[in-house]
Amino acid sequence: CTLSIRGAFFPKTLPGFRCDDPHIRHPFRGDTISLPQLLISVSVLPAIILLFLEYSGERCLRGALCRTVSAMSEYVVGVLLVATATEVMKLFVMELRPHFLASCRPDWTHINCSQGLVTQYSCTNTNDPASRRVDIYKSFPSGHASLSFYFFAFLTMYSNIRFQGEGRWGHRLRLLQVTAALAAVACSASRILDRRHHVQDVLSGAILGLLGGIVTIRWLAKGIQQTQESTSSVAVKPR
């Protein structure tokens, strides 16, 4: 659903711009982290990490697989909700990307910059794919930030609830959580450095991702705690 939204709808009313706006005059530099790379990362890495944590906690592969599949099913629902919310907000807000002028290449012969806000214009990038022509109007919020911070929030809160009270996990969990946080920050910062988003786009995306992670974990919290309690009871059961 979300992927179909990305290029399916071209805005009927184009957002206006000012010719002297420095925020939309940057060159297009491409993506340090492409969308496919991001989607693979937020889909595959959580499964590997959760399976490793669950197996290390009990040394039972079958049980670890069952718990990982259960957690990942809820994780994927959260990813889809965050991604869809991000795309819907992009379609409604329609903020111009920092490289808008370079990518749109407006027909300046029909534009009067002295009128201030330019609302009647046409782009000459007609040879570009439809998804790229629509993408220049979808700066807010950052999808990279929302998904990467969702991954960080989910992983951090899940591991805290799932392994609470198990002191032997303390340092390793903190290292894992800090690494996830740094990865989310690096991914988000790359969007600003690549001139693909404005600062407010990235901050808003990060907040959206954090909220998505919190809501998903709240939904899962009871089941996670029950799993943790059952695992603990098995561990202390006399032989």
In order, the DSSP letters of 168-186 are GGHHHHHHHHHHHHHHHHH
Rounded to 5 degrees, φ, ψ at 98 are: -60, -25
Q: Which of 26, 171, 197, 198 is catalytic?
A: 197
pLDDT in tens, 48-73: 999 988 887 666 788 889 889 989 99
The pLDDT score that the predictor gives to residue 237 is 44
More confident residue, 170 or 15: 15
- One-letter amino acid of 120: Q
For residues 1-5, give the mean pLDDT: 46
- Judge whether residue 228 has pLDDT over 60: no
Please name the residues in contact with 47: beta carbons below 8 A apart, sequence gap of 6 or more.
68, 72
Q: What is the pLDDT of residue 76?
A: 94
Which pLDDT tens digit goes with each residue over 92-148?
A: 999 999 999 999 999 999 999 988 999 999 999 888 888 888 999 999 999 999 999
> How far from 114 is each of 14, 58, 91, 118, 167, CA to CA, in Å?
19, 70, 29, 9, 67
What mean pLDDT comes out for the span 64-91?
A: 92
Annotated catalytic residue, options 23, 26, 144, 198? 144
| Reported pTM | 0.87
- 47: tokens are 């499964």
Active site residue 197: yes
Output the average pLDDT for the chain: 86
Q: How many CB atoms lie within 10 A of CB 136?
A: 23
Q: Answer yes or no: 171 catalytic.
A: no
